[in-house]
Amino acid sequence: MRESLIIRIHYATALAAVALVAVHVLIRVTQGFAESLEYESVVANYRFLPYAGLLEIILILLSVHGFNGLRVILLELRQGRRYERAVTLACVAAAVAVIAYGSRTIILMNMGAV
Amino acid sequence: MAAVAPPTDGARRSVTLRIRRSNPAAGQGPSYSEFTVGAEPWTTVLDAILEAKRGHDHSVGVRYSCRQATCGSCGMMVNGRPRLACFTKLSELGDGAVTVEPMQNFPVVRDLVVGFDRLFRSHHSIRPYIVSGEADIAPGTRETPQSPEEVERYIQFAGCIKCGLCNSACPTMATDTQFIGPQSLAQAYRYVADTRDRGKDERLRIIDDSHGIWRCHYAGSCSKVCPKGVDPAMGIQLLKGHMLGFR
Amino acid sequence: MAREEDNRGGIRDMASPRRYGIERVAYWMMRLSGLGLLAYFVGHIYETSSILRGRAGWDELLAMTQTTEGHALLAVVIGMCVFHTANGIRLMLVQGGIWSGRPGRADYPYTPRSQNARNKIAIYSSIVLAAVAMVYGLTVMFGE
């Protein structure tokens, strides 16, 4: 993948995440910070499909943006074909792992596992 | 005709000059030599180094040529910041000792002399010349006119003297051994912005690499130290604008 | 070829915010806040998964975060988030060639046009916004 395409993805995920995280934070603040963190409130949030969808999209956007940022920093710290390949693979794997782990929480909670 | 008398206003002072010495080829690691040199208000760092060579230790290694910020030979770290020694007066540097070191992010050949191989290789890689099928002079060849506005788009970047100060100040260059560097990227913009050039697509392809233009994060240090007002950071961002389709 | 000494500035120079003005400080803060936010994000994904252990698991987590240290950490995260966002938008505008200044003939003393007042104001505004958001976050967290 060309770097100019990766940077476009980096910018697009950033802009989309800014808008969606703002919604996520606003919901917390408008509900009252302490109240919104109470068990019943959090469970209700997860069970509400549009909100669960919002969390899933934020999870994907921030994972892609964050781990690509980390990849860029690591690529600039050291060079070498094997190292660079390893960094790229590790960052992709880490992003996939975080998305999988976070999705597990969102899906199970939305399906009423708890 | 009477000779011009030197000023007698008491402005001459003594300055301690610390020069970082090393000779990797001879296995001599870095150390500092101190010299006390006389300084007039107009004395440059290069003048001081040459006085130290002349009066104290002729073995100090320094590269210089024009003494007027045109050849780009005498770049070095002066009190921790990349500068041209011939373009920096001792009087600008305050009252303390002046420390000169070889330019950072360039391999040291000896003392203050650094190797430019990487800079020249990177510069060459972006095809720093007009790419045009009409370049050969044949019967009927005519000049390619440019409006003043078209010249303004690139003329500032054509002032680059390849002194390497921008590469020395760049934070990415400090760790990335394969980064193409602000000097070459600014020159890529210089030709992309030239209406006579037809090599834009090829140049953009060359710099769209994992150690190419996107490793610039606009810290702006390159433009801060440029002694010719080239403003490489601007050229690089304009080039990114081309690549992202905003320009 | 003669043996040469590698004279790269290294991580110390890359991470140093001094010597080159506010733009270099912004570069350094952008990196630091990005790394901090990524660490928080991964931690946040892990901590919220405790809800899968039911009320007990969630309340245990809340008890850990609803402390002075937890609130202070969250305030720092809010500050990093606001700075990273505001400065990131500035960088997108600059890197799109929109806020990067207009090329022209260079006149001595060569003030770089890319480091124009608009950019400097945007950087200082990002820092102020981050500070205001931190204070607001602290009042919300400690006010309840």
Q: What confidence tens digit (pLDDT) does each residue in C5-14 have?
A: 789 999 988 8
- The two structure tokens encoding residue C22: 């506010």
Q: For residue B186, give the chain C residue with the closest CA.
A: C103
- Whether the complex's predicted ipTM surpasses the cut of 0.90: yes
Residue B230 sits in the same domain as residue B198: yes
Residue B100 sits in the same domain as residue B206: no
Residue B96 sits in the same domain as residue B124: no
DSSP B102: P
In total, the C-beta contacts within 8 angstroms joining chain A to chain C are 64
Subunits adjacent to chain C (3 or more Cβ pairs under 8 Å): A, B
Whether B6 is covered by a domain: the verdict is no
Residue B108 sits in the same domain as residue B19: yes
Q: Where are the alpha helices (DSSP H) in A32-80?
A: 33-36, 39-47, 49-77
DSSP A75: H
Whether B1 is covered by a domain: the verdict is no
Which chain B residues touch C88 with a CB distance below 8 Å? none
Q: What CATH code is carried by the domain that includes residue B62?
A: 3.10.20.30
Average pLDDT over residues B97-109: 97
**What's the CA gap between C97 and B229, in Å, rounded?**
18
Residue B107 sits in the same domain as residue B181: no
Residue B107 sits in the same domain as residue B122: no
Total domains in the fold of chain B: 2
Residue B84 sits in the same domain as residue B190: no
Q: What confidence tens digit (pLDDT) does each residue in B140-190 have?
A: 777 888 999 999 999 999 999 999 999 999 999 999 999 999 999 999 999
Test the C interface: residue of B215, B234, B240, B243 with most C CBs within 10 Å: B234
Average pLDDT over residues A3-15: 97
Q: For residue C39, give the chain A residue with the closest CA.
A: A66
Host domain of residue B197: 117-132+146-244
- The two structure tokens encoding residue B147: 């409006």
Per-residue confidence (pLDDT) for residue B135, from 0 to 100: 63
Q: What confidence tens digit (pLDDT) does each residue in B68-95 have?
A: 999 999 999 999 999 999 999 999 998 8
Whether B167 is covered by a domain: the verdict is yes
Residue B66 sits in the same domain as residue B26: yes
Per-residue confidence (pLDDT) for residue B5, from 0 to 100: 46
Sign of torsion over alpha carbons C71, C74, C78, C83: positive
Residue B126 sits in the same domain as residue B82: no
**What's the CA gap between B193 and B200, in Å, rounded?**
8
Test the C interface: residue of A9, A11, A28, A104 with most C CBs within 10 Å: A11
**What's the CA gap between B50 and B71, in Å, rounded?**
17
Q: For residue C59, give the chain A residue with the closest CA.
A: A39
Which chain C residues touch B169 with a CB distance below 8 Å? 20
Whether B162 is covered by a domain: the verdict is yes
Contact B169, B183 (CB under 8 A): no
**What's the CA gap between B61 and B109, in Å, rounded?**
9
Closest Cα partner for C78 from C70, A41, A6, A105?
C70
Contact B236, B215 (CB under 8 A): no
Residue B110 sits in the same domain as residue B168: no
Which chain C residues touch B167 with a CB distance below 8 Å? none
Subunits adjacent to chain B (3 or more Cβ pairs under 8 Å): A, C
Going by their DSSP bridges, the two strands B13-23 and B75-78 should be labelled as unpaired
Residue B152 sits in the same domain as residue B82: no
Whether B137 is covered by a domain: the verdict is no
pLDDT band at B4 (very low <50, low <70, confident <90, very high): very low
Verify whether the Cβ–Cβ distance C103 to B228 is below 8 Å: no
- What is the three-class DSSP state of B130? coil
What 3 state SS string does B145-174 have?
CCCHHHHHCCCCHHHCCCCCHHHHHCCCCC
Domain-wise residue ranges, chain A: 3-110
Is the pLDDT confidence value at C1 over 50?
A: no
Closest Cα partner for B71 from B53, B88, B86, B51?
B86
Alpha-carbon gap: B177 to the closest alpha carbon of chain A (Å): 7
Residue B78 sits in the same domain as residue B176: no
Whether B4 is covered by a domain: the verdict is no
Query: CA distances (Å), C75 to each of A24, A41, B135, C80, in order?
Result: 17, 22, 62, 9
Domain made up of A3-110: CATH architecture: Up-down Bundle (1.20)
Whether B25 is covered by a domain: the verdict is yes
Per-residue confidence (pLDDT) for residue B141, from 0 to 100: 77
Find tokens 């006389």 and name the residue: B38
